Amino acid sequence: MSKMDDAGLTDGQVRSFIRDGFVRIEDAFSADLARRCRDELWADIGLSPDAPEAWVRPVVRVGFKASAPFVEAANTGRLHAAYDRLVGKGRWLAPGGLGTFPIRFPAPETPGDDGWHVDMSFGDSLDFMEWRANVTSSGRALLMLFLLSDVGPDDAPTRIRKRSHAVIARELLRFGSAGTTLRQLSADGFASSAECEVELATGAAGTVYLCHPFLVHAAQPHRGSNPRFLAQPPLLPVGEFDPGLPPSPVQLAIREACGLSF
């Protein structure tokens, strides 16, 4: 896809988002910002890029980071313009940082967290399987993947099931505003989306994938040589869906999938 300037996404990119469930933005933030973020994360996990003998676990997780490089990376002009175009001006909250971070290291074994799933949007249970999503995507405007290191096909890129967001929208429709839990939605291992084409979230550091909240995705083992640094934050909405406002591309994708009028 073409690069974008601060004016926002092209009409073609918006149509691709509605159809496929995601859009890839190159140079969404600078390589220098990505390096500064990686430097902080290396310090947080007590490891070093110069000591691979200590990389003994396939994945190390870090929570939310709100220091300056992470706030800046999440709030570039390019990204704000894209948020406006996909979610609607005034309908999203500026990110206060980035997180969480599954840092993946080269390893012969599977990481144990590589199943297909959809990120849930609301809930208060300590059991994440009891968190919920509903057809209007309460509590989440976008799923976002921030590439903080160069990610090639062997570097554990996130697997994306293209157009799976439409499948999930139709499944959520019958549950209404209450939605359903991850436990119930995933009971069949997301078999309903198994025929969807798979795309890998690859790219240079500074690339961002803006994804529909219902997109089915999964991790995978790292078969490369350099650790993969990624942030996977949500973009949070200002409030609930407002039928008095023109539908955003996020909402249009749901409407087209379900044949709804909202």
Domain boundaries of the chain, sorted by first residue = 11-258
pLDDT recorded at residue 243: 84
Averaged over 190-218, what is the pLDDT? 98
pLDDT per residue over 205-230, tens digit each? Answer: 999 999 999 999 999 999 999 999 99
Architecture per CATH, domain 11-258, reads as Sandwich (2.60)
pLDDT for the residue 261: 62
Cα angle value 218/189/16 (rounded, 5°): 50
Helix segments in the chain, DSSP class H: 11-20, 31-45, 68-74, 77-87, 164-173, 182-185, 249-258
Tokens standing for 239? 């409030």
Please state, rounded to an integer, the average pLDDT across all residues of the chain. 95
CB 37: neighbour CB atoms within 10 A? 25
Identify whether the C-beta of residue 97 lies closer than 8 Å to the C-beta of residue 151. Answer: no
**7-56 per-position pLDDT tens digit:** 579 999 999 999 999 999 999 999 999 999 999 999 999 999 999 999 99
How confident is the model at residue 262, as a pLDDT? 53
| Strand, coil or helix: 11 | helix
